[in-house]
Chains A and B, each alone.
Chain A
């Protein structure tokens, strides 16, 4: 399907296509209530509560006032609904703001200021500098004479650098005034969400050039939500509007994630439900039997001889209602509340603020913090995640002279520049101007560079620090400030980088002497073979290899002087090639090839992509915590392995072993897979770090044909490096591990990680240099990789522990009261009498027992420092040791025990003349409340003021509330509480209940704590008794023994920070340097191939 957009035809498109009204809303005013209710009632728990609440309306069976269920139920629903409504209202406001923004649109040939929502397909929209693009436009004119404009696409793909967009060839040179009257048709595809493709055609109607169809690509469009930068004005034709834009199409409501803990709680709820049904059936039968045998004899009950047909059902239903509190209605609210608090704690954490950018960590998804504590696999991206993605120019080799190691060569380089050594100056000139960087002068006079690639950024900045400052770009004139003088170059052509050519060049004319120069930079294999005949390139090859082994990205710089006529001749061909419609890219490449040869190679630059601070420590700590790491990168194998080595990802020989899965055909892959699997099985018993390495191609085959074997491998292997993988393969790998029932966490920073992040149980985005795209899609966004340690070990672990306690406690307290009701039914003729009155029951569930347990969100079983030192303790969370059927059985038993204690003591202490119903019920209730307070206190590991306040304050509040109720003559409890509090026997009973209920629990806990301590207990004891804990285990990263003198050349490994070099060239002196050890050879493959410099990040996008 195609859509035909008629430019400037106002009427025709109105019916066909929607207007530009953006709507992100989930509800409207009318459908809010039904839709929201429907959504809420699709959950089993809510259906259950609704059923119970409905049953309670039948007064024959309801044991208590229906308000005791309806009240909380309505409250819970109202809270959820208002949260939804509030979110939706905010979405509506932001939509409205965007919709009512004023834009310039051509209407009837005149430019008018209209609201953005009134733009129709086919309208011509005018934008000024720094305007936001209101809909998807096809460019037809800009202020730039070459028809270029710059856009910032960060809102769309998260990339912060400026992108160049150009007008289609047919629109070249159309007069500013004529643009208003332009007519034509754009044949474009129906809306889709691919932001990298736009295959369309443009045909202009007479009087404009009407000879041919002009093809359009994504380069000719500017998409909704981008910003126009560095361009005075631009105008374009609206092709997709409203929710049909590329941005609008890619928007979607992600599926809510369910944590493992939620699943477990649901399972336990199910078990309780079954238990409840059994209890109800047993009691129902017993009740009916008792009624027929005993109750008929009791004349004072006055049972009718003939009951209605449903008589048999009445008693079971009564018990169903009586037992309905077994599933606590408050658990959902409590959990929602504490979960949002966990998320808030992450947002607040001042130790997870990236002080470089000032961005705090943020939990977008507030519901899955517990999962963080149960992570088993971390899938990490490399560039930008493990590394800074900030390239720093480290070393270079000019004409066989090495600069930039600790021996102070950097000074030499600076001296050489200052001393006008021609080679060096030429080298630095190429660094400064052979690029597509745009210098922007800020108000303070400093020059900022907007670069499309980080490598270019690094080179230009390094050149600037070497006094070769790329100062200004004025149309085609480049200004270079060098040692106080200004050198001007006229930029003639840019031979752009493509991943096939692996190099880029510029043709410039020196304005002083009129010489035309070709300056090139590129990967070694794209430059060195084209050196002029006489040049010795052997040194360069060795240098490149040497640098690559140090994990540096290398680029070769070269130049050539062009003759005037050679350039003119080539220029014509280039122009012709640039305007071809068929195979344009290939033609251009071919033409470029004709110019890019006979290079004089100037030298090699080495750029380091620094590891982020604390990456090795983070990986080591998390590895100790039992988390397996997989590196999924689009980068090359060797680079990936180097980085993996340097950040503790894999251990060097002999401790570590790398197994390579490769092959181009199915057979090869199969064989290598089997071999690796075999090795893996053998070595799985040895304490050896075995990792497998697979590349995208082999992975494709393995996933397609040998999924089973690969899955087995995935389970066996704790570490894996997958290189050259595409975004969808990343997502597939996550899916694979998820299907094996592992909890996965995906962390990444770029647009290529979004799918993996969304696929994983937990997605973490690094709000890094590649923009915010990943961070937006993620559940958590953090500033630096090292915060992951804190996120998992501190926040994840605490969240898990707290939720484990809170959920089980919620069941416990409901069960206690429910068991008491059941016991009471045995002494009340199995008739389903409720011992407690409605108010007490409701307040018990919603208030008395919820408040103290809510402060358990402040509980810390171990201090943060201890957890960091003993990350292995995370095992308890991963294995779900704190919330599983057996721990739950413990709580179940405790609730049964406590119910028996409370019930037995109450009915015996309040026997005979004291057995008045209201009094007895209050005694039992206060017994429960007292026990609750002590249970919470016993299970609390650290008491802050808030905990004391909540636990003991709640106890006081219980009495105050009941005194107030007891003071109201109309209430059923009138004077009861005053009466009780005056009785010494009441207080003795309370202390007896507490002592008898808590004594055994305390004794058991003490015995286990002392004589069968869990690892957590041991650490608790150590922490609180011994002061600072001895760091056993290898907490500090070991001195790495892999640094080895391997360099055949004179390059020595920097062993320490070089005091001279660092401040000179690195743009942040504090960025610590990781010593990148050269890998010791692995048994399956040698590092025969150098880490070739892939100097663009394009391969990440593959």
Chain B
């Protein structure tokens, strides 16, 4: 072989040449019964155990849920809950009893759950100013915070509907007359505390206006330490959500009765929302959620069923693969 020939040969073999000729080596997978049945079998064999493990993890989570929004309104006021909750002169104290049915290992997360609460409403999610949360009053443009933007011409810190509607029920827990220690630190994301909420930003003119929304903030404490606010401002995408209130760092034994003293301040009555208190342990998968486990098992089972059906179909109706004599033009040419 002469040199130019070899050169040409080499060029012909290069990837770019093959690309230009659309003849790059390709693998062409075919949906053969073997492959497809194997895939479904494999899927079934993966998902059923995964589902079982997931379900087990979910079941290992102990959870106590207590809805308190109706019970905590005195019988006399239940007809008109809205005026009850809006009346500041009435004390909102309330006590609830929770019975531990299963041993709960510390740390036990305390969540408050709101149902039918649209934190994802467009008007609501948009009404905040991330820059102001970080830089405080140095950042002037708070137009995104409408309609809770200014108070007497002074910018509100933190501005916006989300901060303004801060959840303000509070809970204390007593077990056998001794107060349970609730750790309310580190309930917010560390990244939020460090990078999203300013260390030198203090609340200013917050909840001072004519319209009082939810909770108040301590003007002396910088926003980065106001963890309730930080948690609240991580808006939820769903109308039912739980937010972390604190952690109990003691184990709870079976049949322990916990007395919860709470301040029922937050108004969910005007829109028919529910308030719940949740005590929950956690597993490697998070809180109690059977959905993933069930879904995995369903997918796994249906995969297995499909695999079996396909196998039976394949055994019963064996079809010669790729028989070109089935093509109409070939059939015609055979008959005619």
Question: Which A residues contact B (CB, under 8 angstroms)?
Answer: 63, 294-295, 297-304, 318, 344-345, 348-351, 624, 687, 798, 824, 827-829, 831-833, 835, 858, 860, 870, 872, 905, 907-918, 920-921, 941-947, 969, 972, 974-975, 983-985, 988-989, 991-992, 995-996, 999, 1002-1003, 1005-1006, 1009-1011, 1013, 1015, 1018-1026, 1029-1030, 1032-1034
Q: Mark B17-34, 1 if CB is under 8 A from A, else 0.
A: 001111011111111110
- Residues of B near A835 (CB, < 8 A) are 237
Report the separation of the CA atoms of residues A996 and B117 in the bound assembly, to the nearest whole angstrom: 30
Which chain B residue shows the least CB distance to A966?
B191
User: How distant is B123 from chain A, measured CB to nearest CB, in Å?
Assistant: 5
Which one, B30, B43, B238, B270, contacts A299 given CB within 8 A? B270
Report the separation of the CA atoms of residues A872 and B286 in the bound assembly, to the nearest whole angstrom: 58
Report the separation of the CA atoms of residues A138 and B26 in the bound assembly, to the nearest whole angstrom: 62
Q: Is the CB of A1032 within 8 A of B322?
A: no
User: How distant is A664 from chain B, measured CB to nearest CB, in Å?
Assistant: 41
Report the separation of the CA atoms of residues A942 and B243 in the bound assembly, to the nearest whole angstrom: 49
Report the separation of the CA atoms of residues A1030 and B21 in the bound assembly, to the nearest whole angstrom: 25
Q: Is the CB of B322 within 8 A of A300?
A: no
- Residues of B near A303 (CB, < 8 A) are 123
Q: Is the CB of B118 within 8 A of A829?
A: yes
Q: Mark B291-325, 1 if CB is under 8 A from A, else 0.
A: 11001100100110010001001100101011111
Question: Which 10 residue pairs are nearest across A and B when measured between Cβ atoms?
Answer: A1021-B322, A1022-B322, A348-B20, A300-B165, A942-B26, A831-B122, A944-B24, A969-B195, A828-B120, A920-B237
Report the separation of the CA atoms of residues A1025 and B238 in the bound assembly, to the nearest whole angstrom: 51
- Residues of A near B196 (CB, < 8 A) are 969, 974
Q: B41 contacts the other chain (Cβ, under 8 Å)?
A: no
Report the separation of the CA atoms of residues A1032 and B124 in the bound assembly, to the nearest whole angstrom: 69
Q: B241 contacts the other chain (Cβ, under 8 Å)?
A: yes
Q: Is the CB of B234 within 8 A of A1019?
A: no
Q: Is the CB of A999 within 8 A of B299?
A: yes
Report the separation of the CA atoms of residues A1020 and B327 in the bound assembly, to the nearest whole angstrom: 12
Q: B242 contacts the other chain (Cβ, under 8 Å)?
A: yes
Which one, B121, B267, B295, contacts A829 given CB within 8 A? B121
Q: Is the CB of B289 within 8 A of A912?
A: yes
Report the separation of the CA atoms of residues A870 and B327 in the bound assembly, to the nearest whole angstrom: 10
- Residues of A near B24 (CB, < 8 A) are 858, 944-946
> Which of A907, A908, A1010 has most chain B Cβ within 10 Å?
A1010
User: How distant is A129 from chain B, measured CB to nearest CB, in Å?
Assistant: 36
- Residues of B near A1013 (CB, < 8 A) are 326
User: How distant is A322 from chain B, measured CB to nearest CB, in Å?
Assistant: 10
Which one, B120, B191, B336, contacts A975 given CB within 8 A? B191
User: How distant is A860 from chain B, measured CB to nearest CB, in Å?
Assistant: 7
Which chain A residue shows the least CB distance to B324?
A1022
Number of B residues, CB within 8 Å of A:
93
Q: B265 contacts the other chain (Cβ, under 8 Å)?
A: no
- Residues of A near B272 (CB, < 8 A) are 297
Q: Is the CB of B123 within 8 A of A301?
A: yes
Which one, A348, A828, A860, A969, contacts B118 given CB within 8 A? A828
Q: Is the CB of A345 within 8 A of B22?
A: yes
Report the separation of the CA atoms of residues A1006 and B29 in the bound assembly, to the nearest whole angstrom: 12
User: How distant is B131 from chain A, measured CB to nearest CB, in Å?
Assistant: 9
User: How distant is B175 from chain A, measured CB to nearest CB, in Å?
Assistant: 23
Interface of A is mostly: helix
Q: B47 contacts the other chain (Cβ, under 8 Å)?
A: yes
- Residues of A near B299 (CB, < 8 A) are 992, 995-996, 999
User: How distant is B81 from chain A, measured CB to nearest CB, in Å?
Assistant: 13
- Residues of B near A348 (CB, < 8 A) are 20-21
Report the separation of the CA atoms of residues A974 and B299 in the bound assembly, to the nearest whole angstrom: 33
Q: B226 contacts the other chain (Cβ, under 8 Å)?
A: no
Question: Which B residues contact A (CB, under 8 angstroms)?
Answer: 19-22, 24-33, 36, 39-40, 43, 46-47, 50, 54, 109, 111, 113, 117-125, 130, 147-148, 161, 164-165, 189, 191, 195-196, 211, 213-214, 234-244, 267, 270-272, 284-287, 289, 291-292, 295-296, 299, 302-303, 306, 310, 313-314, 317, 319, 321-330, 333-334, 336
Which one, B118, B319, B333, contacts A1034 given CB within 8 A? B333
Given contacts A304-B147, A858-B19, A1034-B333, 5 further A-B contacts (CB under 8 A): A303-B123, A829-B118, A909-B295, A984-B284, A999-B299
- Residues of B near A910 (CB, < 8 A) are 237
Report the separation of the CA atoms of residues A988 and B294 in the bound assembly, to the nearest whole angstrom: 12
With A909-B289, A915-B238 already in contact, the answer to whether A999 and B303 are too (CB < 8 A) is yes
Q: Is the CB of A972 within 8 A of B130?
A: yes
Q: Is the CB of A300 within 8 A of B22?
A: no
With A917-B236, A975-B191, A988-B54 already in contact, the answer to whether A295 and B121 are too (CB < 8 A) is yes
- Residues of B near A301 (CB, < 8 A) are 118, 121, 123-124, 161
Report the separation of the CA atoms of residues A1028 and B91 in the bound assembly, to the nearest whole angstrom: 89
Q: Is the CB of B319 within 8 A of A1011?
A: yes
> Which of A912, A914, A988 has most chain B Cβ within 10 Å?
A912
Q: Is the CB of A1002 within 8 A of B322?
A: no
Report the separation of the CA atoms of residues A992 and B297 in the bound assembly, to the nearest whole angstrom: 10
- Residues of B near A1030 (CB, < 8 A) are 324
- Residues of A near B323 (CB, < 8 A) are 1018, 1022
> Which of B32, B36, B319, B321 has most chain A Cβ within 10 Å?
B321
Which one, A344, A350, A828, A911, contacts B291 given CB within 8 A? A911
User: How distant is A585 from chain B, measured CB to nearest CB, in Å?
Assistant: 54
Q: Is the CB of B325 within 8 A of A1032?
A: yes
Which chain A residue shows the least CB distance to B336?
A687
Q: Is the CB of B234 within 8 A of A916?
A: yes
With A974-B191, A975-B191, A1018-B326 already in contact, the answer to whether A992 and B124 are too (CB < 8 A) is no
User: How distant is B83 from chain A, measured CB to nearest CB, in Å?
Assistant: 14
Report the separation of the CA atoms of residues A449 and B284 in the bound assembly, to the nearest whole angstrom: 90
Q: Is the CB of A1019 within 8 A of B324?
A: yes
Report the separation of the CA atoms of residues A991 and B50 in the bound assembly, to the nearest whole angstrom: 11
- Residues of A near B113 (CB, < 8 A) are 912
User: How distant is B244 from chain A, measured CB to nearest CB, in Å?
Assistant: 7
User: How distant is A826 from chain B, measured CB to nearest CB, in Å?
Assistant: 10
With A302-B148, A829-B118, A999-B303 already in contact, the answer to whether A1009 and B31 are too (CB < 8 A) is yes
Q: Is the CB of A829 within 8 A of B43?
A: no
